[in-house]
Amino acid sequence: MLYSFKLPDIGEGVSEGEIVKWHVQSGEHISRDQDMVEVMTDKVTVNIPSPVDGTVGKLYYEEGSIVEVGKVLLDIRVEGEPEEPQPEEPAPAEEQQAPVQEEEKPAPPQVAEAVEEPEESPGGIPLASPAVRRIARERGIRLSDMRGSGPNGRVTLEDLEGEAPAPPAAREQPREEPAAAEAPKAEEKIPVSEPEAPARKPAETEALSENEEILVPKGLRRLIFEKMTKSKQIIPHFTIFEEINVGPIRENVEKLKRDGITVTFTPFFVKAAALALKDFPYLNATYDEENRRYILKKYYNIGVAIDTPDGLTVAVAKGVGRKSLVALSSEISDLAGRARENKLKLDEVQGSTFTVTNVGSIAGIMSTPIINYPEVAILGVHRTLTEIGKDGVEKEKMYLSLSCDHRLVDGAVAARFIKRLKGLLEEPILILSQ
């Protein structure tokens, strides 16, 4: 029987992924749990294994293609099971016509399923994600005038940058993008609007000097580009700073080291965040954009931003509130190592409720971190500074920064939260004892 494998739902608002590399070829035998394809999302690059044994059939996308969740990636001919998977593969257009006949003919539904996107959507509106369409409406940009740079002309967030809004009169007509029936009315009212608003010319036609080059975000960088843009456009950020005494943490790190246990600063901040969040539930939440609501979490999954050769990845430590500092340190170290090798699993990059980003090992005494959408807050950890106190004793200090979604989190709440963090970090026994 023919089994069509679809790009699985990765969660966390991820609706598409990029085919980085195929590990199999058409006609090749494949075993269950053998890696088939490497897919990159804005969260992580993962290898997706085969759920069955069989022979690889058609590969529907080339490397570099952007694929929506639910689209068929490849067909697998499963040996010895001609009828079993039929209920999974009915063709949408034939579902209501003759379901019994479909069961007798397993192959046609596989072939009939549309896996290639049309050149443009009905009504002459180019392909675009819901977020891109919404942003285009807010900016007054007519998608019908554009030819996107994505696959099959898909319009991306990058295409919207620098795009001039349509004239007000022309903007009103295509407000409801799918309404093809309204197009003739627009032409009758403003017959010259189309010639006067030509599509933007591709940037690559511009001449560059020998000291310039074009850089088009691709792969993980493109996905970071889109996610950071979405976070800043949707969330009204504000950032609050606090100074902490790092001495007590340093003392405990050295003490653990003498006992043969190696830990870094990061687990202290991750564990302290989870403990503080118990008293500040509004910061341990995610935004449900579709229903315009927030979801408060009663568990503490802390995302840890990791610098990898390909870009920033957020790995997730689950159930932090229940773990000891030593166990948490070991887990974070393991996640960071596998993140840099692109070996994280899907469940290790989703489900975070709050994120900690630590750039202190590199440089920077302050920053305003961008919230890891759809979360509502992120903690920034920075470089330690040494100063001589009034008593002549050398001390270490550090600045923390907390960025929040101002729609849900008030400034006073953020101030109380970071004050609670400061108390925990300057008395590490409170962290080590839980």
Residue-level pLDDT at 206: 56
For the full predicted model, state whether its pTM sits above 0.85: no
Q: Is residue 77 packed enough to be buried (19+ CB in 10 Å), middle (13-18) or exposed (0-12)? A: middle
More confident residue, 271 or 155: 271
| Residues 285 and 315: beta-carbon distance below 8 Å | no
pLDDT band, residue 243 (cuts 50/70/90): very high
CA atoms within 13 A on the CB side of 57: 19
Q: What is the pLDDT of residues 40-55, one digit of tens each?
A: 876 567 788 999 999 9
What phi, psi does 280 have (nearest 5°)? -135, 75
Question: Which position among 23, 237, 382, 406 bears the catalytic label?
Answer: 406
Query: Residue 406 catalytic?
Result: yes
Instruction: State yes or no: pLDDT of 95 exceeds 50.
Output: no
Instruction: State yes or no: pLDDT of 170 exceeds 80.
Output: no
Instruction: State yes or no: pLDDT of 264 exceeds 70.
Output: yes
> What's the CA dihedral at 50, 54, 55, 58 to 10 degrees?
-50
Across the chain, mean pLDDT equals 80
Instruction: State yes or no: pLDDT of 364 exceeds 90.
Output: yes
Domains of the chain from N-terminus onward: 2-112 (2.40.50.100), 122-201+215-220 (no CATH), 236-432 (3.30.559.10)
pLDDT band, residue 133 (cuts 50/70/90): low
pLDDT band, residue 153 (cuts 50/70/90): low
**How far, in Å, CA of 316 to CA of 429, rounded?**
24
Q: What is the pLDDT of residues 278-298, one digit of tens each?
A: 999 999 999 999 899 999 999
Residue-level pLDDT at 155: 75
Q: How far is CA 357 from CA 57, 371, 379, in A?
A: 43, 10, 6
Residue-level pLDDT at 18: 86
pLDDT band, residue 311 (cuts 50/70/90): confident
Instruction: State yes or no: pLDDT of 106 exceeds 50.
Output: no
pLDDT band, residue 269 (cuts 50/70/90): very high
Between 411-426 and 266-277, two packed helices, what is the crossing angle to 10 degrees?
Answer: 130
Residue-level pLDDT at 177: 42
**How far, in Å, CA of 345 to CA of 15, rounded?**
17
Residue-level pLDDT at 165: 62
